[in-house]
Amino acid sequence: MAGNSSTPGATVTSRALALLGAFDEHHRRLTLTELADRAGLPMPTAHRLVGELVAWGALARNTSGEYAVGWRLWDIGLLAPVQTGLREVASPYLHDLYGATLATVHLAVRDGTDVLYVDRLAGHASVPVVSSVGSRLPMHATGVGKVLLAHAPLEVQHAVLADLSRITPYTITQPGLLRRQLAKVLRDGYASTTEEMSLGACSLAVPIRRGPDVVAALGMVLPSLKDRARLVGALQVAARGIGRSLG
């Protein structure tokens, strides 16, 4: 992981944020040593900063001395989605879609160069699904990711195309091929993946527009892409409905 490469010249704020960023789905509880290591800080520095974060409620220390994310961060974080209204508006459409298709349905936005899963309805299908609400995945290997990437600013596209990590044998790692696919996504109005993120899982996704801007993507995970026309149609109807409700 990060290793302790105590970058000098980093601001205090960036260091405090690095400590918060040390937590993720797979690292929900960390010791001070792990925190210092993952944030690339010397221990005394990490110790002091973590102390401040705990005092404020951004982090919490449990009885066994480990640190975890605190409630204060949770309730402030809640303001992010509420303020766009996206989740609330999309919720009924996700349920409708699920009812009509019985597939796992996803709502995602782009944040930086990641896809961020904002909401999800899990089908009981036997398809492996790696995403969960709040998780981040690379854009080049997911349906919603390709949709959001196709509509992203050029600088973001360049950054993503420059680093296409392999996840399965079918993951697209050639910039040229992905670029052509993105063009096709713009033409067709939807994106698809075939086992690029997870073996045995395919996906379809369409953009959600608020006026002319693509603000999110709607996707589903499937065992295969047969019946694609009907499913894309259903996705587009829902996406248009959500976009309209967003005003």
Partner DNA sequence: CGACGCGCTTCCGTTCAGTGGAAGACTGGG
Partner DNA sequence: CCCAGTCTTCCACTGAACGGAAGCGCGTCG
Note the residues at the interface with a second copy (CB under 8 A).
Answer: 11-14, 16-17, 20-21, 23-25, 28-29, 49, 52-53, 56-58, 60, 68-83, 109, 111-112, 116, 133-136
**Beta carbon of residue 65, minimum distance to a second copy (angstroms, whole number):** 15
- Pick one of 20, 32, 100, 125: the residue that binds DNA (CB under 7 A): 32
188 binds, among a second copy, DNA, none (CB under 5 to 8 A by kind): none
- If binding is defined by CB under 7 A, does position 171 make contact with DNA? no
- If binding is defined by CB under 7 A, does position 47 make contact with DNA? yes
Handedness of CA 86, 207, 136, 7 (dihedral sign): negative
Contact status, residue 194 vs residue 99, Cβ threshold 8 Å: no
**Beta carbon of residue 76, minimum distance to a second copy (angstroms, whole number):** 6
- If binding is defined by CB under 7 A, does position 176 make contact with DNA? no
- If binding is defined by CB under 7 A, does position 54 make contact with DNA? no
- If binding is defined by CB under 7 A, does position 48 make contact with DNA? yes
**Beta carbon of residue 187, minimum distance to a second copy (angstroms, whole number):** 27
Q: How big is the CA angle at 9 (ends 3 and 15), to the nearest 5 degrees?
A: 55
Q: Tokens 């109807």 appear where?
A: 237
The footprint of DNA (CB under 7 A) covers 6, 8-9, 11-13, 15, 31-33, 41-45, 47-49, 65
